[in-house]
Amino acid sequence: MRVLLTNDDGIEAPGLLALAHALRDAGHDLVVAAPAGDSSGSGTSLGAIDHGTIVACEPHALPGLDGVPAHRVSAPPAFAVLAACFGALGPPPDVVVAGINDGHNTGRSVLHSSTVGAALTASTAGRSALAVSCGDRPGARFDTAAAVGVAVLDWLVAHAPKRTVLNVNVPDVDLGDLRGVRWARLGRVGSSGLMIKPAADGLRLERFPTAQDVLSLDEHADTDAALVAARCVAVTGLLGGPREVSDLGSLEGVLPVG
C-alpha cells in the first residue's frame, strides 16, 4: 500500500522520522512530503494559491531511510497532501498519515490543527487518513505513538470505508502501559488551552495544561483529552461523525504487543 506521510512540525521533526521508520518497517510503500518548517496552527490552509504560483519543493534525505522519497515543501501540509494526491510527487498515495504531532490534538482545538487539517484535506481527494499526536517534548513518546499509528492504520484500511478520517491521540507511556484503545468523543475541553493577551509589542500567546480534575469530570470522561489522561489511546472519527465510525466495530486487540 502506498502511504503518504506528512506533518506540521516540519520535515526534520523527530515525530515524523519515528513514524516514517515504523511505516517503512511495516512494509508500506512510503512517500514523505512535509513542510520546510513549522506550520502548526494553519488548519487546512494551502498557503498562496494565485494562478501561476510556484511553490518551492525539493528532495530531502531522511536519516536511515535510504530509498524512501521525501519532499521538502514550502507550504502547509494540506498543500503537500493535495500535491501528492494529484500525482505531482509520483504515483498518488492510497492513504494519508499525518504526524506524529508534537502535542496532543484534542477538543475543539482540532479545528486549528494542521496535522488534523492535512488528514481532512486527504478526504477531499477521496482518501482515508489518519492524524497521530502524542504529548509535547521533552516527554513525548514518539516510539509508542509510531507503533500505535501503524496498528490503527492497518485497522483503518481493513475495516473503514473510503474517506474515513481518524484522529488518534497517544499517551506518553511505554507501549505495554497503555490501557487500551477507546473510541473518543471530541471534547469541549482539550488537553491544553490557549490564551491571547496584549503585550508591549503585539499579542502574546500562552499555552497551559488543562487541570486533571476538569478532565476527570463525568461530563468529560469519554472525551479524547480525558481518555489520554487516563492512559488510553483516544480515537475520534472526524469524517462522517463519530457515531458512524464507531459503529464499524471494536478496536480491541489493535495494539501491537509491547
Q: 167 in helix, strand or coil?
A: strand
pLDDT of residue 247: 56
The stretch 177-204 carries a mean pLDDT of 84
CATH number of 2-246: 3.40.1210.10
Spell out the domain ranges in the chain.
2-246
Taking only the tens place, the pLDDT of each residue in 168-180 is 999 999 999 999 8
The stretch 147-165 carries a mean pLDDT of 92
Lowest mean pLDDT among 119-123, 136-140, 141-145, 243-247: 243-247
3-state helix, strand, coil split of the chain in percent (to 5) is 30, 25, 45
Q: 17 in helix, strand or coil?
A: helix
Q: What is the pTM of this model?
A: 0.90
Which stretch of DSSP H or E encloses residue 153? Answer: helix 142-159
Per-residue pLDDT at 67 exceeds 60:
yes
pLDDT of residue 213: 62
Cell digits for 225? 483529552
| CA 129 to mean position of chain CA atoms | 9
Lowest mean pLDDT among 95-109, 126-140, 203-217: 203-217
